[in-house]
Amino acid sequence: MRIAVAASVAVAAAAVGAAAALQARRDQAPLPSARPPVPAAVPSAAVRRGPFHAPSEAPIEAAPPVASSVTAEKPTRPRRLVSRIDPFAGELDLLQRAHAAYTRRDFSTALTLVSEHARRFPKGNLAEQREALRVRSLAGAGRGDDAHRAAAGFAHRFPRSVLFSRIEDSAESPVP
């Protein structure tokens, strides 16, 4: 049973590492270069006068520069309000702490962390692992009736789970 949970945590950790590597690659990608700025208006001394124009005493001023949408600054990438990796990393951290409490046989802390995970990430990517840990922690705490109800809820919610047989076993025995 511990091997299955360790394997699922390892798979989740590998997914986090791959996502972090992908994000790092995206962050290091060069930004597209900005177009060169539009040249400013020609100064008045360089304006040529044609043969039919008499020189005037006042110098001809250059036209004011035209406002351009092109700037010399690098365009900035819009910042995402919430990174896609942050919720998963938070989910994984919380479940890893819950699993560590479970392995220390601190079932009340494990159940508290599992409940916090359910509150913060009700439809999270690791909900199946969370509910499996809930059943095992309830069984470990000696709450057999609650463990049986949680196992039935797990079977209903995740009928094709690879964790189901282990959940069923832990609901039957008090401590796996």
Q: Quickly list DSSP for 84-108.
A: SHHHHHHHHHHHHHHHHHHHTT-HH
**Sequence-separated (6 or more) residues with CB below 8 Å from residue 36:** 70
The pLDDT value recorded for residue 152 is 94
Structure tokens at 135: 């059943």
Residue spans of the domains in the chain: they are 2-23+85-172
> Between the CA atoms of 156, 158, 159 and 162, what dihedral angle is there, to the nearest 10 degrees?
-140
Cα–Cα distance for residue pair 2/132, rounded to 1 Å: 12
- Enter the tokens of residue 87: 């919720």
CATH (one of 3.30.160.270, 3.40.50.980, 1.25.40.10, 3.40.50.620) for 2-23+85-172:
1.25.40.10
CB 101 within 8 A of CB 134: no
Q: What is the dihedral of CA 2, 169, 111, 6, to 10 degrees?
A: 20
Q: How many angstroms separate the CA atoms of 138 and 50, rounded?
A: 96
pLDDT of residue 87: 81
Question: Which is higher by pLDDT, 35 or 116?
Answer: 116
**What pLDDT, on the 0 to 100 scale, is given for residue 86?**
78
Quick: pLDDT tens for 52-103.
555 555 555 555 555 555 555 555 655 444 445 578 899 999 999 999 999 9
Residues whose CB is less than 8 angstroms from the CB of residue 108 and which lie 6 or more positions away in sequence, other chains included: 141
